[in-house]
Chains A and B, each alone.
Chain A
Amino acid sequence: MAEISDEKLVSRCKAGDLNAFDQLLLKYQKPLYNSCLRLVRDEEDAQDVVQIVFLKAFENLATFDTNRRFFSWIYKIMVNESLNNVARRKPQVSANEFVVSNDPTPAENFASAQARKRLDEALMFLKPETRAVVVLKYFADLSYFELGYVFDLPEKTVKSRLYDARRKLCAILTGESVEES
């Protein structure tokens, strides 16, 4: 069966069809949760944040500009909520604490778990706003145009921020000393 477009689902939601919202939830909960997880770095916090994101999206659906793409809009809500969550917490990692651990995670694929752990730790060195750009680029596959909308930045600034972030990640992952964000 052909997938129903977001536009149609949103339209049905606005008409009071809760099943349509459930379909949007089903479609976006995984990418949103994974992106959020990279930003807040806590599974329970990520669940809380994503629940709030969907409830806010539902609450504000009437104000959603249908000229925009739904997923850009909901990612924007997620980034704001995640950054608020991060801002409420104290920094958890310092440059001196960055280590590449060899501890296996039994329930997961070993290589992927290692890669995720390494990358997650490296990401924590980036400023939250910069980290959000990287996460949405690579975990949500947003275009520069969409990233510009989510972060209220010109595309050129998004590209520049992403390039700086990649270089910094290079330095971290190859063990070079980096300036702590």
Chain B
Amino acid sequence: MNKDLVEDLLQRELDGSLSDAEQESLSLHLADNPNDRELQKQLNSVVAAFKEVSAVDPPASLRANVMQTIRSQAVANSESQSRPKLSFRGIFEIFRVRPAMSLALGFAAGVLAVMPFTGRWASPDLLPGSQVTGTIIADRAWPSGPAVDRLKFEEGSTYGSVRLEVLANRLIVSVEATSEEPIEIVTKYNMRKLWVSGLVSREPAHLTFFSNEGSVRVVHSGSVKYLLAFDGGGDDILAFTLEVAQGDRILYTGELSTRAK
């Protein structure tokens, strides 16, 4: 019996899918081959080890967090369905710039007064070996379909990601980062609508803020995942900024605003 056949039979024996004839054939082979017999014994012990391990219960907050986020989104959707959906495709101005250019673009954004909506993202110099990815997704109804208008920029190796979704009726911001040094994430918002909800990793509670204006600040080291969902679409964003910093160093800034019509 060749090696491949033995391997196949041993594998299928572990899966319990050998026919009687195959089982007999394997047994005959193993009787004369102590090495393969030892291999069979070890493979069985691995499978037995898996069976010994019992499953653990997930934290109760897992289900609660997911359902609360989904229900919040559903409420926001139903409230906004009565007004026409907006399309921001092609209206966005998305930039990845150096600090000096960032300032210039700040002035440039002020000049773009004819636009009902502007977006500006700046990614200054990063720490060595860092990476920030940014994504802006527009013109997509929650919760349908794959993303469109996706832009991504990356530098260096793994650091984290910043993601922003502007939908017709929702603004969703998420930041994922990993660092031994504390990372500070500050979101300031002023929305026409009343509330914002969010999940921040390591925080047991689902966050809900009943205010149309305020800020959320998180300082965390290690691995952080930060997700905020704002009620309201593009024309409900009066002012919005996101800043990710490490010590005195700003790693990432983002700003969105709607101009008065």
A-side interface residues toward B, CB under 8 Å? 16, 18, 21-22, 25-26, 29-31, 33-34, 37, 43-48, 50-52, 54-55, 58-63, 87-89, 109, 111-112, 115-116, 118-119, 138-139, 159, 162-163, 166-167, 169-170, 173-174
B199 part of interface (Cβ distance < 8 Å): yes
A173 touches B67 (CB 8 A): no
Q: Which residues of A contact B148 (CB under 8 A)?
A: none
B27 part of interface (Cβ distance < 8 Å): no
Quote the shortest CB–CB distance from B57 to chain A (angstroms). 6
Kindly supply a per-residue 1/0 record for chain B positions 115-143, scoring 1 wherever the CB is within 8 Å of any chain A CB and 0 otherwise: 00000000000000000000000000011
B49 touches A18 (CB 8 A): no
B260 part of interface (Cβ distance < 8 Å): no
Quote the shortest CB–CB distance from B50 to chain A (angstroms). 4
Supposing A119-B50, A170-B43 touch, asked if A63 and B145 sit within 8 A by C-beta, the answer is yes
Q: Which residues of A contact B158 (CB under 8 A)?
A: 87-88
Quote the shortest CB–CB distance from B185 to chain A (angstroms). 15
Quote the shortest CB–CB distance from A20 to chain B (angstroms). 11
A34 touches B49 (CB 8 A): no
Least CB separation from B55: chain A residue: A34
Quote the shortest CB–CB distance from B89 to chain A (angstroms). 19
26 chain-A/chain-B pairs, Cβ below 8 angstroms = A16-B74, A18-B67, A18-B71, A25-B63, A25-B67, A26-B63, A29-B63, A33-B58, A48-B201, A51-B66, A52-B225, A58-B70, A58-B143, A59-B143, A63-B144, A88-B178, A112-B52, A112-B53, A112-B54, A116-B53, A119-B49, A119-B50, A119-B53, A166-B11, A170-B42, A170-B46
- Count CB-based A-B contacts (< 8 Å): 117
B-side interface residues toward A, CB under 8 Å? 7, 10-11, 14, 39, 42-43, 45-47, 49-50, 52-59, 61-63, 65-67, 69-71, 74, 142-146, 158, 160, 176, 178, 199, 201-202, 223, 225
B54 touches A109 (CB 8 A): yes
B178 touches A62 (CB 8 A): no
Quote the shortest CB–CB distance from B127 to chain A (angstroms). 15
Q: Which residues of A contact B65 (CB under 8 A)?
A: 51
A163 touches B7 (CB 8 A): yes
Supposing A48-B201, A170-B39 touch, asked if A61 and B143 sit within 8 A by C-beta, the answer is yes
Supposing A47-B62, A167-B43 touch, asked if A62 and B143 sit within 8 A by C-beta, the answer is yes
Partner of A115, one of B14, B53, B61, B145: B53
Between B11, B54, B58, B59, the greatest number of chain A beta carbons within 10 A of the residue's beta carbon is seen for B58
Cα distance A25–B225 in the bound complex, in angstroms: 21
Least CB separation from B57: chain A residue: A30
